[in-house]
Structures are given as C-alpha cells and as structure tokens.
Structure 1
Amino acid sequence: MSILTIEDLNYALPDKVLYQEGNVTLNRGEHMGLVGKNGAGKSTLIKILIGEVLADSGKITWQNHVKLGYLEQYLLIEEGQTIREFLRTSFKFLYDLEKEIEGLYADYGESLADDLLEKAGKKQEILEQSGFYAIEQRIEKMAFGLGIAAIGMEKKLSELSGGQKSKVFLAKLLLEEPDVLLLDEPTNYLDDTHVQWLAGFLNDFAGSYLVISHDYQFLNEITNCICDIEFGRLQKYPGNLKKALKLKEIANENYLKEYHAQQEKIDKLENYIRKYKAGSRSTIAKSREKQLNKIDRLSAPERVYQSAFEFPHAPILANYLIETKNLAIGYKHALLPTIDLIVQRGEKIAINGFNGIGKSTLLKTLIGEIPALGGNVILPEGLEINYFSQELNWPNQSLTPFDYVREAYPTLLDKEIRTQLARSGIHDDNVKKAMKFLSGGEQTKVKLCIMTMIKSNLLILDEPTNHLDTDTKRALRQALDAYEGTMLIVSHEADFYENLVDRIVNIEDLQAG
C-alpha cells in the first residue's frame, strides 16, 4: 500500500532540470535509499516532500494521518536544556498525559466524583500501554547506541558542537518513532560502531523511510529499494543498492539508446522542415512540424564532470612532525586522560574511536584552533599544515565559489580560478552560484579546491568524505594516496582509509603513561 505517491513532478533550477515528469511511490514498510551525484537534487526532493520547497508542477500525496519524521538541520532548543531533558521532549504527549492524570486524582480528592476516577483509569491505561514507565531505559539505550552517553546526558545543548547536536537531534527523531523517516546523511558525525548500531535500528524499524547517504556500504545494508535521480528522472529499483546499481546500468544503456534515437529523429524532422518550409513541399513540412511539436523530448544526459585533486607537497627536514606530551584536550574540562602522540615524517595515520570522545577536538588542538588545557604540542620549524574541517561554515552564504577562491588567492586571474574550480568538479553556473544554493557535496569540493592550492607537508583531514559521491571520493582517495607528505585523517568510512594509511590509532590508546 502506497504511503507516498509522487506524480509528474517537475522542478528546475536556472541552470538545470532536476526532475522532469518524475514519478515514484514509497510503500508501507519500504526502506528506500535516495541516490544520485552531488547536485542531482536529493536534498531538494526531501524539502519538496515536506513542503519547504515548492515544485514547479506535479502532485505529492501522503497517506492520510501519516506521521512524518524529518531530520532537520536546526531545531529549536530551550536555553539551558540538557541532553536528557531534550530527549524527553520526544515523549511530551505522555508526560502531559501524566500531568492530566495527576490533576484528575487531585480533583477527585476534593470532589470524590467517581467519573474522575474512571477518566484517570482510562488515561492511566493509555500511559502504560505506551511504555511510559520504560521511557528512561529507551532514552539511555538510544543515547548509548549513537554515542551520546559518552558526551554526558546532563550536558547542556548550548555547550555541544555542531556534530554532537546533530547526533542528539537524530536520537530525538528516532525516539519519536514516526510512520515515515526522512533522513539526510544520518551517518555524518557517527563513527563505525554507531553507524552499525544505526543500521541495525533502521533494519528493525517497522515504518517506512527515505534515506540519503553517501556511505554506500551503510545504504546497502539498510535498503530494500532505491530511488535514483539521473537524467531528470526518478527511477525506482527493487533490492538493495548493489542490486539497484546493476539494474541502473542496464536502464541507463537503454535510456541512452532511446535518447540518441530520438535526437536522430528530431534532427531529420528539423532538417526537412528547414529545407521545404517555403517550397513546394510546405504542406508536408507543416505536417512534420506538428509531428515534431508532439514529441515528448527526453532530457539530455547530464555531462559528467570528474574531480581531480592534487595536494602539493612542501619538503621538510624534521623527523617528527607532531609530538605531544601529557596533552589535555577539551573546552572547559578535559575530554580524555592526557595524550602522548608522535607522528613521524611521511606517516599516514587514521585516528578512530567513538564519536564525542574528542577526535575533532584533538585535531583542532594540534593546529592551535583550540587551546590545550594542559601539556604541550611540539611542532617543528618549517611545518606547513593544510587542514580540512568537517563543518561547512561559510562566513557569507551569499558569496560564490569564485568569490571564495578569489578571496583566498587574490592574485589569480579569473581564468585560473575557473580552471582550479573545474578540476575540483565545480563547473558552469555553479562557479557563480551562491554557496547557500550548492549541495553539501559541491560545497565540500570548493573547500578541497582551495586546499589544492596550498603547499604543505602535513595534511589534517576531519571527515573529508561527508557529502561526497562515489566518484569524488575515489578522486580524493587517489590524491591522498599520491600525496608525498604526512597525513592525519579522521573518518567514519573505514573502507575509505584502511588501505590508504600506514597505521590506525584509537584515540584512547594515546593516553599518556
């Protein structure tokens, strides 16, 4: 039974068509993955489904009384609210019901009216059937599964990093158990262990969901159908991602054949019309023109742009590029026991450990963005660091990729800026499009583009694959593999870094002796 029906959906940006006569259904109990290249329109489709973006035309039909759960980027939080208090708001209706019951018993104490006891009894039954007295256990289980418990349940939301808040918002959404989940990159800010926990949770989820994720291993594990966006079409495939990609390859071959056959037919008709419109065969030409106007034209295959990254290397003589002694990291309080770390010249190291433990904080402390709470960070002379932060924070969202590269490198010619952006996969109108209108993947490419013009002997990367499609991740991995310098990387995608690094270090193993 269809819980969502999308009919004849059309939506175009000034520079390209995202969907043309798109049709797809999500049935009750289906676990659908939404895939497509960066900028294909995946996040936009979810925004259309919730009414945040208005389609050009088409019809979106949700089943009556369906409860939607959408992982929003920002949620309203009360000043001073703790993680535990915020997660309890998932069950607000039950807490409100408890207060009603208490009020009924209080009124009964004054009036002794039997109908009040009867009302209280019925409401109490609803409370018990809804699992009210197991709420705390459910919250604790969710917090442990997503790595939130390690942050501290009594910590205030206002004190959390953006990544930590994202995990807490995800937990709240999952606790609410809506009929349909709409999840956009839910594995961002989760480490391997918690990604696996989330996969298990979603596989057991009784409702339906639509999930966007560039972590294809995760998507393959949790889906039983796929919606692919390409050529302006919404194409649904049965099975998990691996099966869908095989079916897509066949479908794409057929589509390209149809497209080229149609183009050949159009060319012949247009040539005939041009040649005979004013001559003796004008009647036939007019007939051909009518025939041409009736053709339902297929969208042209979008040109595929490949990213090609290269991180220039600056030589350095020092043998140790990073050395820490009794380093304490954190904000007001230390997140971990003190850390001893030595990074030798030429090493490529992945740092793992569950999220919230302090991997990003460690990286920011090493580069001096966050002051150490104690101990020392020893860096050699001549060290040149090239740093990738996982946050997509732009001082001015109205500026374009061209503007940001110009700001970073004011001496570059316009042509050189365009060339650099093109090599990183930013082409055509996207070069002069405001950052707020670019997808997460396209914004990440802009950050990487700026990094490719920095000479360094130490690359530090914090979750660089978030938002990137498979082809761009492959290009990035090749560039990191070719990089001649030293590298520290934090990533929740083990299959991205495992064969790239010399060693994998758990952050808890760095504790000073």
Structure 2
Amino acid sequence: MSIVKVEHLQHAYLDKVLYDDTNFQVNAHEHVGIIGQNGVGKSTFINILTGKITPDAGKITWKKKLKIGYLDQYASLTPGQTIRDFLRSAFAELLEQEQILEKLYQQMGTDSNPELIERAGNIQALLEEKGFYEIDTQIEQVATGLGIDALGYDHDVSALSGGQRSKLILAKLLLQNPDILLLDEPTNYLDTQHINWLADYLQNFAGAFVVISHDYEFLGRIVNVVYDLELGHLTRYSGTLKQALRQKAANQRTYLKTYASQQKKIAKTQAYIQKNKAGSRSKSAKSREKQLEKMTVLAPPSNRVKPNFSFPYVANASQIILDVNNLMIGYQEPLLQQEINFSLAMGEKMVIKGFNGIGKTTLIKTILGQIPPIAGSVQLSKIVTVAYYQQDLIWSQPLATPLVILQQQFPDKTQRTLRQALARAGLTAQQVGSAIKTLSGGEQVKVKLASLMLEPANVLILDEPTNHLDDDSKNSLQQSLKNYPGSIILVTHETGFYDPSWIDKILNIEKNIE
C-alpha cells in the first residue's frame, strides 16, 4: 500500500521545466533515494511533498493519519533552551501525558473516584507502551551517534553553529520516530563516524524514508528503491543504488540507439516529402507528412553541462609553507585538550579529519590569522598566496546574480572572463543571470568554486567543498586538486573523495598526524 503517491506532476521555475507529467510513489517500509544532477529539482520535489511549494499541476495523495518527519534545516530554536530540553521536546505529547498523570495521582490522594483510577491506569499503560521511561536512554543513543553529546547537554541551542544546529534538528527528528522520513542531504555537516551511525540507523528504520544525497557511498548502504530525476521525469528502479545505476546506463544505451534510429527515419521521410511534394508522388508525400505529424518524437538525450574545474597556480620558492607548534585552538576556552603539531611543505596536500564541532574550521581560521591561538604558534610563510573556500552558503546580497557577485569580487576582470569561469564551473547562461538565492545548493557551491578559479594562488584551503555537489562535479573537482601543483589543506567528511595516491598527510586533530 502506498504511503504517498504523486500523479502527473508538472512544475516549472522561471523558464525551466522541472517536472513534466511525472509520477512517484513510496510504499510502506520502502527506503527511497532520489538522485540527479545539481539544479534538476530534487529539493523542490521535497518541498512539493511537504506542501511548501504548490506545483503547477498534479495530484499528491498521502495516506491518512500518517506521521511525517521532515528535516527542516530552518526550524526555529528558542534562545535559552538547552540541547537536552530541545531533544526532550521530541516527546512533547508523552511529557504532557506524564504531567496529566501526576495531577491525577495528586487528586487520587484525596479522591478515590474509580474513574480517576481507570484514567490514570490508561495513561500509565500508554507511557509504558511508548517507552516513555527510556526517553533519556534514547536521547543519549541518538545524541552520541550524531556527536551532539560532545557539545554538552546544557549548551544553549542559540549558540550553535550552522552544522551543529543541523545535527540537532536531525537528532530530534529521529527521536520522533515518524512513519516516513523526508531527508534532504542529511550527511552535510556530519563526519565519517556519524555518517556511519546514521547509515546503520536508517538501514534498520522500520518506517519508510525518502533521502536526497550526493554521497553515493552513503546512499548505496541505505536504499532499496532509487528514483532518478532527469529531463523532468522521475524514473523508478528497484534494488540497490549500484543496480539502479547499471540499469540506468543500459536504458541510456537503448534510448540512444532508438533516438538515433528515429532521427534517421525522420530525416529520410523529410527528404522524401521535400523531393515529391509537387510531383506525381505528391499524394504519397502528403501521406508521409501526416504520419510524421502523428509521430511521437523522442527528446534528444541529456546534454548537461559538466564542470571543468582548474585552479590557477602562482610559482613560489618557499620550502616549508606552514609550521604549527604546540597549538591550542578555541575562543575563550580550548576546543581540544591536546596540542597540535605539524608542518606542510610546498606541494604537499593534507586532509584534516575529526568529528564535527571538534574544531576543524577553527583550526583553519587560526592558520589564516582570523582567530588568535590560545597557546602555541602558527607560522604561515609570508610569501605564499592562499585561496580559501568557506563551506557556508550565506550571501550578503541574496538577490544578486552570480555574474554580479563575481563582478564585485573581481572588478578588474572583464565580463567575458567572469562568464567563462562560471561556465567552466558548470553553470548555464540562465543560472548565471538568476538571483543566487534561487539556485540549488550545488549551483551555489559552483559559484564559489568559480570565484576560486579566478584567484591565482599556491595554497588552496578548502572547507567541505563537496557538500551539495553532484557526482560529475565532485569527479572534476577531485581531478583538479590532484593536478594542482601547489599545497592543499582539505576538510571533507567524504573519505571516498581522497586517497593516498594524491594526499600526502592526514591530520586527525583528535590524534594528530596519521
């Protein structure tokens, strides 16, 4: 039986058709993954399912009395509320029943009315059935699994970073145990340890879920149904992600052959019509013209723009570009108990590992001199040129277009040069002229990477650059970093993005150099 069914969905954004008479269905206990390139409309689809966006046409039918869990990254957090209180609010209905039970017990102390005793017994049975007395254990399990416990349960939720906030909202959603989960890029801001925990959790999740993710390693572990969104249509594949991708490739080969055959037939028919429309065979030509008009012409194969990242390098004579000694990082208090020690030579490439919230971004900002060290020293060569990619997608002018944003950053560059950089990042002319806030997360990342391609440097510092990127984009980014002759400091939770063939050092700031 279907939990949610979408029929004949149609929706366009500006002049781009996102869904063209497409269908979608999730049955009970199905674990569904949605894949597709950046900007095809995956997040918009989730917003349509949740009612945040009304489609141009189509019917969406939800099973009645269904508890839906949606990962809303923008959910409000109340200043002054602790992490513990926020997580306990996942059990608000049960906590309310407990308060009612306490009042009934107080009344029963002076009133032996059988109705009070029966009502109290029913509430007590409900609390036991719903596992109310294991609430704190459940909170501890999920908080530990996602690394929230390291922040401290008494931490004010309003003081959390964007990544910490996302993890907290996800934790509450899992604790609510809905019938169906809707998760859009849940692994963003999670490190490897916590991604593994979430994958195990979702594998064993009794309900259904719909997950959008560009992390194919994660997605491959959790799904048994895959929907591929391409050219306005959702194609359903049953089985694992690997099976779905194999079937998709086979379907594409078949489609290409069919399309080529049809185009050949159309060209031949048109030539016949053109040659004979006025001669003795004009009747036959008109007949073929009518046949051509009735033919369902196949759409041309997808010709999506693929990024071609390449970061400009400036030669540098420095040998040791970075020397870190007995460093303690943090703000008022140290984030780590142990000191950090490492050095980086010109041309070396290093990955920084550690669970989210431990201080990877703080370390980068300390290296760049944006935050002073609590103790120890950081010596960054004064003759190196650094290009820095920050992971946040916060724009001071959300209505500005990517072209305008780059014009403001690089006033000495010609518009042609800026457009070329954006095109090489995989953005279309339409996206280049659209407000930045209307672009998908992956498209916004490409704007930031286009900016990096206009900054000649010899040291690249990249903080989670793969978040939101599709597979084609990640592959291009990985190849460009492999080929980069300068030094690289990379933070990423995707262990599949790097390997020893091009990474010289791994700095695990929980344990230091590996």
Q: Normalized against structure 2, the TM-score is what?
A: 0.93
| CA displacement, residues 128-185 of structure 1 (integer Å, 9 cap, x when unaligned) | 1111111001101101111111121211111111011111111111111111111111
Instruction: Please give the alpha-carbon distance, in whole angstroms, between the structure 2 residues aligned to 1:420 and 1:470.
Output: 20
Trace 1:114-513 onto structure 2 (pairs within 5 A): 114-263=114-263, 295-337=295-337, 338-499=339-500, 500-510=502-512
Q: Aligned with 1:372: secondary structure?
A: coil
Structure 1 residues 194 and 137, CA, compared in 2 at 3 Å: closer, same or farther? same
* CA distance in structure 2 between the aligned counterparts of 1:377 and 1:433, rounded to whole angstroms: 41
Aligned AA (2:100): E
Distance 1:358 1:285, change over 3 A: same
Give the distance between the partners of 2:96 and 2:277, measured in 1 at CA.
76
Is contact 1:353-1:508 (8 Å) kept? yes
Give SS of 2:373's match.
coil
- Residue 190 (structure 1) shift: 1.0
Task: Please tell me whether the aligned partners of residues 27 and 208 of structure 1 are also in contact (alpha carbons under 8 angstroms).
Answer: yes
- CA gap of 1:264–1:7, structure 2 versus 1, over 3 A, is farther
CA-CA distance at 1:280 after TM superposition? 10
In the alignment, which residue of structure 2 is the partner of 1:17? 17
Cα distance between partner residues in 2 of 1:85 and 1:491: 31
Q: Distance in 1 between matches of 2:355 and 2:496?
A: 17
Higher mean C-alpha deviation, range 86-95 or range 289-298: 289-298
SS in 2 for 1:111: coil
Deviations 1:12-31 (A, max 9, x none): 22332222121222111111
Q: 2:55, 2:285 → 1: CA distance? A: 37
Instruction: State the AA in 2 paired with 1:506.
Output: N
How far did 1:245 drift? 0.5
2:4 maps to 4
Structure 1 residues 405-442: Cα deviation after superposition (integer angstroms, max 9, x where no partner): 11111122222211111111112201101111111111
* Aligned match of 1:40: 40
Q: Partner letter of residue 449 of structure 2?
A: L
Deviation at 1:70, TM superposition (A): 0.9
Note the residue ranges of structure 2 that are not aligned, 5 or more in a row.
Answer: none
TM-superposed CA distance for 1:317, in Å, is 2.8
State the shift of 1:258 in Å: 3.9
CA shift at 1:320, angstroms? 2.2
Q: 2-side partners of 1:69 and 1:145: how far apart? A: 19
Look up the SS of the partner of 2:321 in the other structure: strand
The aligned residue for residue 106 of structure 2 is 106
Look up the equivalent residue of 1:475 and give its one-letter code.
S
Greater shift in the superposed pair: 7-16 or 164-173: 7-16
| Contact 1:146–1:167 (CA under 8 A) maintained in structure 2 | yes
Question: Kindly tell me: are residues 475 and 118 of structure 1, through their superposed partners in 2, closer, same or farther at Cα, counting changes over 3 Å?
Answer: same
Report if aligned partners of 1:151, 1:357 keep a CA contact under 8 Å in 2. no
The CA deviation at 1:266 is: 6.0
Give the distance between the partners of 2:177 and 2:197, measured in 1 at CA. 16
Superposed displacement of residue 502, structure 1: 0.7
Structure 1 residue 402: deviation in Å?
Answer: 0.7
Structure 1 range deviating more: 373-382 or 76-85: 373-382
Counterpart of 2:446, as a letter, is K
* Runs of 5+ consecutive residues of structure 1 not aligned to the other structure: none
Mean Cα deviation higher: 324-333 or 410-419: 324-333
Q: 436-445 vs 281-290, which deviates more?
A: 281-290
- Return the offset for 1:327: 2.3
Q: How far 1:191 moved relative to its partner?
A: 1.1
Distance 1:104 1:283, change over 3 A: farther
Q: Does 1:76 pair with 2:76?
A: yes
What's the TM-score, normalizing by structure 1? 0.94
SS at match of 2:235: strand
Letter in 2 for 1:354: F
- Give 1:84 deviation, angstroms: 1.0
Q: CA deviation at 1:291?
A: 5.9
Alignment partners' CA distance in 2, 1:404 and 1:483? 25
What is the CA deviation profile of residues 388-417 of structure 1, one whole-angstrom value per residue up to 9, with x for unaligned ones?
Answer: 111111111111111111111112222221
Distance 2:240 2:358 in 1: 33
Q: Distance in 1 between matches of 2:345 and 2:225?
A: 46
Could you tell me how far apart the structure 1 residues matched to 2:509 and 2:442 are? 28
Secondary structure in 2 matching 1:45 = helix
CA deviation profile, 1:214-266 (whole Å, cap 9, x unmatched): 11111111111100011221100111111100000111223334444555566
Q: Distance in 1 between matches of 2:505 and 2:342?
A: 13
Contact residue 232 and residue 299 of structure 1 kept, 8 A: no
Further displaced range: 289-298 or 150-159: 289-298
Provide the rounded CA distance (Å) in 1 between the counterparts of 2:355 and 2:133.
30
